[in-house]
Amino acid sequence: MIKHNRENSRCVLLIFILLMGSISLTGCWSSKEPNNLAVLNVMGVDMNETGQFELTALIVKPQTPFLQSSGSSGKDQELIEIGKGRSLLEAMSQLSTSISKQIYLGHVQVVIFGEKAASESMKESLDFLRRENDFRPNMKLLITKGKASDIIRTPTQLKTPLGSEILNSIRTKKLSMTNMVLNLSQFTEALTMKMNDPITGEISWAQEKGIQVDQEVSGTNQDTKKNETDKKQNSNGLSIQGTAVFRRAHLMGWLNKMETRGVLWINGKLENDVLVLNCPRKESGTISLIIKRTTSQLSPQLVNGKPEMNVTIKVDGDIGQITCQNVNLSSGELEEMNRQLKGTIMQEVTQTFAKVKQDWQADIFNFGESIYRKYPKEWKEISPNWRSGGLKEMPVNLKVITNISRYGLRER
C-alpha cells in the first residue's frame, strides 16, 4: 500500500515537472525580439522648402555584452535616419525602407518639432501621433526655433540616449522650474478645448541661453585643429528653458525665462525657483530667495454683462543666500524684501499679459475655463469673440501676497 502511494506521488511529480517545462517553452504569440527591432528613442518633425515633412528618427541599437565591454560610447549605439513625404505617415513609410529591421515606436520618449512644422502643420502632425497606437500618450512634446534634426544630432553630455537625457533634464530641475513641458495627451487635450490654448517647452542650444558646456575631446597632436572644431560643436549642449505658445494649433511665439515665470505665477505652479533681490537701504550685495510654494485663485465676475477676472497669487519664499553687509533680518527689512518680491511678480505677470493676452490673444491662463465653470450660459455668448477681442479687452485685477517666512540656518 505504501509502495503504491509512493509510485502515485512520483507520477504526479513527473506530470507537474512536464507541465512546468512545457509552459516555460511557450512564448507570447505577439512578442517581439529586441534584436529584430529598430527602437526609436527620439523623433524630430520638420518641414522643408517644398512643403514636405522631414521625419528624423534617432534609433537606439540593442546593447550586447561585447559592445558594453569594449568601452563604446553612447553615440556609437545610436543611428539617425531621415524620411521625407507629403505626410508624416508617408515620411515614416520611406524611413522604414532604409532600415533592415522592424520599426518600433513604443519607446519614443520625446518628439521635437521645428519652428516651421509647429507653425504650419501642428494639427496634421498630432493627428498622426494620436492615430498610431504604438506611440505612448505620455511622450514629451518640445519645440525648437530652428530645425528639429539639428537638435537630434547634438551629442549627449552623459553618454545616455538623447530621450533619456531630455527626460532627466525635465524631472531633476531642483532650482530652476521655468519650463512647462507637456506630453502628447496633455497637449492634445488643451488643443481640443475651446476655452484654453496649449503651450509646451522650448528646447535650444545651451549657448543661446547663456550656458557654456565643455566636453573633453581626445586625440593626438596631429588632430589638434580637428579636435578644436569637435570641441566647439560638443560644447553646444542642449537647454530646456522658455515656452512655445500656441493659439489653437498655430505657433504664435516664444516666452523667455521671465515671461515663462509669469505664466507659472498666474497658474500657481512655480516652485523651487530662485529670485534675486536687492539689499535693503540700497546697500551693495544681493539676497537670493528660493520660491517654495505658489498658489493662485481665478475669480471671474460679470460687470454689465462683460467678464472681469480677479487673480490672487500667494507666494512663500525662503532666504537661500545673503551677500549684504549689514542685514539683521528685522521686521522692517523683511517687509521691504516682501515689497520687492511683490513688485517683481507684478512686473513679470504684467509683461506676460502684454505679450500673450494683448498681442497674441491666446488663453494659456485658464481664464476661459474659469468663466465657463462659473457662468456656463453666459459663456455661450462670450466664446465666439473670445480670441478676437474678448480676451484682449477683459480687465484683469491682480493681487499678490508674499510671505518670506524662513531665514535659513547657518552657524555663527
Q: What confidence category does residue 78 fall into, taking pLDDT thresholds of 50, 70 and 90?
A: confident
Which of 80, 106, 102, 81 is closest to 91 using CA atoms?
81
The C-alpha R_g of the chain, in whole angstroms, comes to 28
Residue-wise pLDDT tens digits, 109-168: 999 999 999 999 999 999 999 999 899 999 999 999 999 999 999 887 777 888 988 988
Residue 233 has pLDDT above 80, yes or no: no
Q: Which residues pair with 404 in a beta bridge?
A: 317
C-alpha to C-alpha distance for 79 and 61, rounded to whole angstroms: 7
Cell of 402: 508674499
Residue-wise pLDDT tens digits, 27-58: 444 445 666 788 899 999 999 999 999 999 99
Q: What confidence category does residue 211 fall into, taking pLDDT thresholds of 50, 70 and 90?
A: low
Q: What is the pLDDT of residue 217?
A: 42
Please name the fold of domain 256-406.
GMP Synthetase; Chain A, domain 3 (3.30.300)
- Select the more confidently predicted residue: 294 or 69: 294
Going from N- to C-terminal start, the domains of the chain cover 34-251, 256-406
